[in-house]
């Protein structure tokens, strides 16, 4: 008879994981969240300047007027990246810094800032990845109607051309839009993001014109940059799961998948809007704002799809009351989900970040597997993944953030498993390089690998920055 001691199985530690040798390790930021210098060198207000300065919109009345002062401290920030061994830096251009009214010639001082930044990155061996739009629409274009209007997409193509002309000889990798879902549905639907409008039809119109802007911008970039240039878009693809195994909850998943994901992947990657999306929203609009040639313009070949992932989305059939408070996107009496009153959102189980978002790396693995199956031949890059925690500097000036290290370890393991399962994932960008202005949360949420002491602007790499640096340097995720 076996003794009790022999009945125990000794659990073996998880092995270390080695990423492909050419896997790209990066970090990411966004212009309004870090630059500051809101009125310097010709820059005019964006919709986020206006929104943040509107009382009651942003926690504590915080604005991006100074942010982390990256506009003046960029050289220090690039040196930090070099010290951490980061191979690529995904940053965004501030449209109103380059083209203050959203029309006409570029302001050279604005372009010069990005020229200097790119030159410094290249000098330090860091690959620049430029995002044309991370939500800072020139306020003058919003005053003329904003993203619900076709003209905004046309202005965006002109701005893309200016940026490509100025930087295309040095920037090899371009991203047109960051998370157009947020721009359209949080900006024009629920109003929890700039410009703060709450019109479901305007949100759908905005989604279409963002799609069109993307397609026109890809064409403008390709026309003006060397043949080896890469074009992409970054989507916050929602990994939507049903609360139960019932048919009604499966239909709730279908509805949200259409509004969150396929409203963009359909036109961009397949050349058509999904029929079920058009049917679900038919009571709101006939989609006549989609013109005959639009889908051909939108459906441009991409070198990779950028994927932002933080947490899964859990849904069920609703009772008709329109309960949308647990979708993770901020509270509003207006829904960012037009035509989906039948759907209720639920808090996924498990531990959460300081944002209240469930920590679930399996969602990232499953999402990558799905994208690989749905869009074979389209390489994938994780363009944002990270977490906010309540970080602080201890008396000796160190910032220890073991919860972030655990979060990153779990999600990188999920990426590695997806690669082993056949997904063509080419890179990973940690969000974010620096603590920064976290949109409607102001400075209350810290996503950075580098701690920012806001009164002084001092930068302190957190324990997670040193940990990530070692993973990026070796390409090995430790056991």
Annotated catalytic sites, by residue?
Answer: 179, 384
Peptide bond preceding 358 in cis form (omega within 30 of 0): no
Report the interhelical angle of 150-167 vs 200-224 (nearest 10°).
Answer: 30
Greatest alpha-carbon span in the chain: 86
Peptide bond preceding 432 in cis form (omega within 30 of 0): yes
Report the interhelical angle of 70-84 vs 108-123 (nearest 10°).
Answer: 20
């Amino acid at each position: 008879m076996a003794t009790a001691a022999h009945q125990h199985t000794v659990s073996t530690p998880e092995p270390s994981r080695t990423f492909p040798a050419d896997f790209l390790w990066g970090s990411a930021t966004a212009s309004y969240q870090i630059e500051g210098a809101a009125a310097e060198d010709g820059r005019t207000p964006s919709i986020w300047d206006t929104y943040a300065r509107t009382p009651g919109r942003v926690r504590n009345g915080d604005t991006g007027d100074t942010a982390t002062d990256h506009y003046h401290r960029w050289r220090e920030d690039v040196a930090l990246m070099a010290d951490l061994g980061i191979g690529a830096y995904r940053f965004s251009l501030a449209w109103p810094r380059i083209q203050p009214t959203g029309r006409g010639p570029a302001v050279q001082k604005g372009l010069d800032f990005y020229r200097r930044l790119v030159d410094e990155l290249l000098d330090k061996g860091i690959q620049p990845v430029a995002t044309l739009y991370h939500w800072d629409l020139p306020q003058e274009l919003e005053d003329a109607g904003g993203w619900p209007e076709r003209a905004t997409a046309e202005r965006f193509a002109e701005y893309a051309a200016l940026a490509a002309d100025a930087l295309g000889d040095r920037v090899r990798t371009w991203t047109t839009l960051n998370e157009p879902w947020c721009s359209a549905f949080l900006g024009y639907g629920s109003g929890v993001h700039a410009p703060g409008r709450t019109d479901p039809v305007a949100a759908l119109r905005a989604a279409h014109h963002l799609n069109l802007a993307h397609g026109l911008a890809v064409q403008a970039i390709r026309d003006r940059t060397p043949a080896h240039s890469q074009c992409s878009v970054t989507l916050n693809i929602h990994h939507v799961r049903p609360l139960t195994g019932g048919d009604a909850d499966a239909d709730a998943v279908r509805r949200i998948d259409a509004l969150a994901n396929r409203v963009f992947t359909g036109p961009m990657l397949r050349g058509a809007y999904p029929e079920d999306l058009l049917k679900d929203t038919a009571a709101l609009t006939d989609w006549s704002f989609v013109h005959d040639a639009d889908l051909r313009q939108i459906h441009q070949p991409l070198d990779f799809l950028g994927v932002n992932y933080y947490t899964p989305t859990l849904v069920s059939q609703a009772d008709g009351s329109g309960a949308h408070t647990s979708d993770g996107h901020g509270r509003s009496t207006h829904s960012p989900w037009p035509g989906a009153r039948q759907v209720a959102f639920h808090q996924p189980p498990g531990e959460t970040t300081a944002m209240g978002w469930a920590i679930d790396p399996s969602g990232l693995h499953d999402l990558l597997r799905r994208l690989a199956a749905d869009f074979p031949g389209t390489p994938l890059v994780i363009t944002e993944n990270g977490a906010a925690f309540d970080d602080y500097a201890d008396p000796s000036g160190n910032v220890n953030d073991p919860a972030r290290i655990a979060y990153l370890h779990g999600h990188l393991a999920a990426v590695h498993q997806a690669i082993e399962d056949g997904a063509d994932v080419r890179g990973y960008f940690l969000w974010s390089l620096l603590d920064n202005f976290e949109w409607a949360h102001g400075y209350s949420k810290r996503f950075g690998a580098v701690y920012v002491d806001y009164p002084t602007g001092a930068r302190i790499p957190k324990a997670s920055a040193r940990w990530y640096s070692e993973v990026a340097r070796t390409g090995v995720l430790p056991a």
